[in-house]
Structure 1
Amino acid sequence: MEANGQVGVVHPPAVDEGYRAERLLGSGRASRVWAVVRNSDGARFALKVPAASPGGHGTTFETRRELNILSRFEHENLMHLSTVLETDQGPGLLMELAPGGSLGRVLRARGTLQPGEAVTVLVGIASVLAYLHGLNVCHGDVSPGNILFTASGKPLLGDLGTAALLGSGPAPAAAEEDDVLALAAVGWLIVTGRALPPAERRLPLAVLVPEIPAALAEAIDAGLEEEPKRRPDAAEFARRVFESTPAQPLDLALGDASAPLDQAPTRRSRLDQGRAPAGLRRRAGRGKNRRPGGSPGEHEGSGRSRNRMLLGAAAVLVAATMGLGAVAVAAPEMLPGAEPGEPGTPPPASDGGQSPGAQPLPPPDQAKDADTVRGAGDGAVPGSPEPSGQVSLARTSGSELELMVSSSDPVQAARALAELRARAFTAADADLLTGINTPRSPAMQADQAEISKLEAAETVLSGLAVEVVSAGPAVPGQDGRVSVRAAVSTSAYAERDARGGMVRNVAAVSSQDVVLVMVRTADGWRIEDILAPPA
C-alpha cells in the first residue's frame, strides 16, 4: 500500500468511538489508510478501512476475526494492530501510525539510499520475515509501499493482512523464498534506484553499482537467485546484510512537499533542538543543508530520537528493539553468530525445566559474573590491557568504578559508566541505573524499558561486557553538559532463563561509535543521552 496514492475524490470516514479522521495516508485496491486522532488525548493512529463500495465491505465480525488472528504476531519491526472501529465506510483496523512514511516515498524523493541505510531497512524487515516464517506465515507482499518508518526511522513491515497461513490453502511451496526474493528486490531498488530487471538482463550488483560494499552486493544477489532453494532464508539474509557494512540511521528529511505528516524528524533534529552540546551541533551542521523552517519543538513527537543509541545489553548497540537508536535495524537475535534456527523465531515456551543441552548457571558464589554484577570488592584490580591500549574493567570492583565516575575526567567516567551499565543489564536490576543515568532522561527511560523486558521474560544476560576501547576528547556544552565520543565494543553473551536454560547466544560486536551526553552531579558523572556521532 503506497503512501499518498490517492486517485480521484476520496472522503474521510466518519469514525465512531471518539476518533476523527484527518488525512489520507495511502490507498490500495482493497483498502485505504487514514491518519486519525483520538479525541480524548490527541494520540495519533492509522486506520485501515475497505476501499470497496458500501455494499462490498466486510462485517465487523470478519474484521475482528482478522484482528484476532493478526494480533498474536508481535515483533519490533511489525506494524502493531490495536482494535476495530466502526466507520461509515465499514469496519476499520486501528493500527500504529508510521509518521516517517513509506520506503517508496523516501526513494521517490532521494532516488537511492546510502549502503548503511540499506542495512537498516533490509535487516529490520528480514528480521520480521524470519519471525513470521518461524510461525509458518508468509507475508506475500513485501514492497516499498509496505515498508514504513516510525518517527525514529525504525522500519516496520505493514499490511500483514495479505499474509497466507502456510498449509491452510493453495499457497505456493516457495512462499517463504518468495518473501526473501521480494525483499532482495527491494534491496536492489534501494541501492540502484531502479526496478529489478529480468534475470537474463541483470548484471551482478557489484558491476552495476561498484561503489557499494561488495559484501552487501553479494548478499542482495544471493536473495535474487532464480532457484528458490538457493536463496538464503530470511534469517541468513539478515545476517549477511548485517555483516556487510555498518548500519546507519535513515535520513527522513524529504522537504515540505512529500512528508506524509508534519512531525517526521530529520536525522539531525536532536542536534538542532539544542539537546546536544554546542560543539557537536556546530560540527553536525557544518557543510550540510539544514531543513528550513524548523523550530525547537517541531520534531519532539513522542520524545524518541533516531540519533539516540543504546550502549549495551539486549540491543547490543542496535536499537530496533526499542526504536530509540541511530541504528534501528535488528533485534538481537539477528546479530551474527546467533545459534542456528534461532534468528527471528521466538524462544520455545518453557515448561519450567531446563532447555535441552543447556548448561545451568553456576551458583552465585562460583559464577564468573558474580564480581561484575555487584562489584568484586575493594581488593579487586583492573584487568589486563586490551589490544587498544585501554584496560578492561570487567573485574574492577564497584568501589573503584565509583571513584572513576566521581573523577573530574569525563572520559574516564564514561568508561566506568559503560561497565556499570553492562552490570545493571547482566543483573536485570533497574535500581542500579540510578548510579548511571540522570533521572527521567532519555537514557534512563530507554534502559528502564529494556530491563523491564528482561524482568518480564524472567531471563538474564550472562557474560555481557561492554568496553570503551577509545574515548575523547570531551566537548563542553550548554548547562554543564559534556559530550564524549567513544568507540564501544560488546562481548558475546548468552540470554538464559531462570533455571539457567539457554534462550539464545549473541555474538560480539567489535566496535560501534557513539556520543555520550553526560552531566556532572553531586554524586559524579551520569549519562543523559546516547547519540550517534554526527556525520
Structure 2
Amino acid sequence: MPGHRVESVLGRGASGTVWQGRDAMGQAVAIKVAHEVGWLADEDATRTEAHVLMAVRHEHLVTLRDVVAMADGRVALVFDLVIGASVRSTVSARGRLRPGETVTVVTPMCEAVEALHGAGGLHGDISPSNVMLTADGKPLLLDLGAARLAGASPDAPIHGTEGFLAPEVRQGFAPTEASDVFSLGALAWFCLTGNGAPDTMLRLDPEVIRSHVGSQLAEVIGACIDPDPARRPSAPEAARLFYEAAPAEAVEVVVGADQASALTHRIRAEAADEAAAAAPEATPGWWRVSRARRSWSGRSAGAAALFAVLVGVVVVALAAGVVSALSRATASETVRPAGSEGSSRPSVVIGKGVTPGPGTSATPTPSPASPTATSGVEALLRQVDAPRTSPQDLIQALSDRRAEALVRRDPGRLAGVDERSSPAHAADVAVIARLRAAEARWEGLSLEVAHAAVVSAEGAGSVVRARVDWTAYTLVSAGERVERPAATGEVLDFTLVRGSEGWRIAAVSAPAS
C-alpha cells in the first residue's frame, strides 16, 4: 500500500479487512482495506470529505489519518490504533452500566460529535461498537470512515447500525446533525438496558422510558430519541443535559469474548483482579481535565465505582464493526470478585487438562509430554491443509499449547502458539508477566473445541471459525481458592498463518458474517 507497511490482520468485516501497519515514519496505524472496488463510490467527493474530516481534532475522537487509493482500485482508510474495549463488549459482559457510568461514556461522545458538527461533518454510525474505553476509562468515538459532510448527496450510501439509526434515516432521508443526536440517545439507552432504542415513529410516553432506563437519565434520553428531529437537543445541549442528570463515575470495563483471544480472556481478567489488589491507585489524567461547562473530577476517595480494566489493541472495521482486541490489565482502586453482582461468566478459556503444580513459582516445572502425542501434534501443525481437513483438531492443538504456556507462565512456550512478532504474541507475553506479578494460578481447567470449520484457506493464511467451551476450574491466589463455573464460549474467527514450524495464531475476531 502506498506510503505504508502492512503487517498483520486484526479483523475482517463484511466490507473490508483491518490490518495493523506502519506509516512512512514507522508509527503504528490501523488500516482498513475495502474488499471491493467502488466501496467508496465517488472518489473525488470521498477525498474532499476525508480532508475535511481529517482536520477535525478532539480528545474523544479517533483520528482518520488518510484515505489511500490502491493500485487495484480499492480504497484504504488509515486510522490511529486504539487501546481499549468497546462499549458493546462491556455492556454485553455486564448486562448494563450504571447511570453515572453512562454519563461518563455519553457526555464526551456528545462533545466529540459537537466538534464534528462544527467542522460541517456528520458521523452517521454512532453505536456501541464505535465507542471505545481506553485503559484509563476515557471514551473515544471511532469510525470516521462512515462519516460524511452535512448536505452531501442524498444518494450517498448510508452506513449505520440497527437500533441506533434515527427513524427519518431509516425512512430514506439523508442524515443530519439531529440524526447523530438520536444515535447518542440510543447509545445511552443501550448502556442502561443492553438494547438499542425502540424502533418506533411514535413519541414514547415518559413513564415508558423511565421503566426502561430509570429516572435519572430518562428525560435527556427521551429528548434525544424524539421521533421529530426538530425537537431533539443539539449535541452541545445534550452534553450539558447528560452531565447534569447524574454524577459521573468511572466505568468498569469488561472485554467480551467477541473482542479478544478466545483462549486468554478469563486469565487476563483474573490477572487484572489479582494484580490490582496490591497496586497503587493512579488517577487517569483525562479525569482531571476541567472544562468551561463541566469538570471531570476523577475517581475520588469516596467513589464506589470499580475500575478493573481489561483492554487491548482494538480496531473497528468501520461499518461492519468487527474488532480484534489483545488484552492487558491496569490497576484498580477496588476489586469486585468475579462471582459478585455485575460480573459475567468467563469470556474465554485457557487450557485442556493443564494443571499447574503446587506453589506460585514463576515457572513451574512442566511434566514430560508423551513423545507420541508430541509428534502427532507437530505433524498436525505442519500439515499444509490442516485448516481445511482438520480444523477442530488444529484449533484444539493450538488451544492446548497456549493454555500450557499461560498456566505455566512460560513465555518461551508461546513460540508454538502465536505468530512471532504478532499482536497476539506480544499480548500473551504481557499476560504472562502479569500472572507472575499477581502470583495466581489455575487448577483443573480443561477446554473443549465444540466445533470448528474453515472459513477461508488461501496459501499460508487461513481463517477457522470455532467455538471453545470450558469446564469448571479453581483460581488459587494468596493462599485462597475460588471456584469458577463451567461455561459455553463464543463463536470466533481464528486467523492462522503457516510458517516454517507450522500453523500459528495471528489474530482472533468476531465472525465477519
Same fold? TM cut 0.5: no
Measured against the shorter chain, the TM-score band is: 0.3 to 0.5
State the TM-score, normalized to the length of structure 1. 0.43
